[in-house]
Amino acid sequence: MQQLVIGAGSAIAKALIQQNLNQGDSIIAVSRQAGSLEESSAGSRLQRLQCDYTESSIDAVCAELRESGIVFDRVTICNGILHHEGLSPEKRLENTSVAPLETVMRINAFVPLMWVKALKPLLKLNGKPCVITALSARVGSIGDNESGGWYAYRASKAALNMLLKTAALEYRREAKLVQFLLFHPGSTDSPLSKPFQKNISPTKLFTPEFVARQLTRLQGDLRPDLPIQFLDWQGKRVEW
């Protein structure tokens, strides 16, 4: 199986890559770290490409992939942000401002869409089924929002869901063998969740390795008649 893992520096992506290498898959991992298809050693099942996640850089990576003639079975987009120095989830409306909203929206919603856009010419010619997965979140569910707060993160994941649902409908018309999965991994023990883990029960804090196993299982069990599904780590449908 040939896989493309985007945002390969994240905890879940690293676990997914290692798990699938152990299963014998071949993987191209995209991250900010330097690398290229040509630099990979002969016969290696793990190849790395560098991308700074600007639109031009995404286009350049996808052009290189098209030229390589590689056919993908799975594409997993792991890019995402919840906090960094100077940016944290807003507890109240008074904490919101435009700059953080724009930053979170760009990384969580617009960057995945640019990947889906740039990969379309390649995947249209794939010739076999392919699953595109993006890491979403239950807090991006409009119907499930009962507590409020986390304005930028909620809005960005809701936007991601809508953008990829729209893209999935277009793909279904032009690339019928491609399916989409929006995946809620649950609370994962990673740098993204670290500041908030004190409020999470240890039984509900999952290792990246567990999440990777659950994701791989779901990717192999999707209903073929649906262009896109929004599922949690248990395989249960999440309300849009």
pTM as predicted = 0.90
Q: Check residues 150 and 198 and name the one with the higher pLDDT.
A: 150
Least confident of 119-133, 134-148, 197-211, 226-240: 197-211
Residue in the structure block whose two tokens are 């942000």? 81
For 98-152, the pLDDT digits (tens) are: 999 999 999 999 999 999 999 999 999 888 999 999 999 999 999 999 889 999 9
Handedness of CA 104, 72, 238, 205 (dihedral sign): negative
CB 8 within 8 A of CB 30: yes
**Cα–Cα distance for residue pair 27/75, rounded to 1 Å:** 10
DSSP character for 127? Answer: -
Share of the chain above pLDDT 70, in %: 90
pLDDT at 34 over 70: no
DSSP state string for 76-123: EE----S-BTTB---SSGGG--HHHHHHHHIIIIIHHHHHHHHHHHHH
The whole-number pLDDT of residue 35 equals 54
pLDDT at 203 over 70: no
The whole-number pLDDT of residue 195 equals 59
pLDDT at 154 over 90: yes
**Cα–Cα distance for residue pair 3/226, rounded to 1 Å:** 21
* CA-based end-to-end distance of the chain: 31
**Cα–Cα distance for residue pair 45/40, rounded to 1 Å:** 9
Q: Cα 21–27–33 angle (5° rounding)?
A: 110
Mean pLDDT of 157-180: 96
Domain range annotation of the chain: 2-232
- State the average pLDDT for the chain: 90
For 172-186, the pLDDT digits (tens) are: 999 999 999 999 998
Tokens describing residue 94 = 């008074």
Mean pLDDT of 151-180: 96
The whole-number pLDDT of residue 196 equals 56
H helices present in the chain, as ranges: 11-22, 55-68, 98-105, 111-124, 151-174, 208-219
Mean pLDDT of 57-86: 92
The architecture of the domain spanning 2-232 is 3-Layer(aba) Sandwich (3.40)
Mean pLDDT of 38-66: 85
The whole-number pLDDT of residue 173 equals 94
207: Cβ contacts below 8 Å, ≥ 6 apart: 15, 188, 189
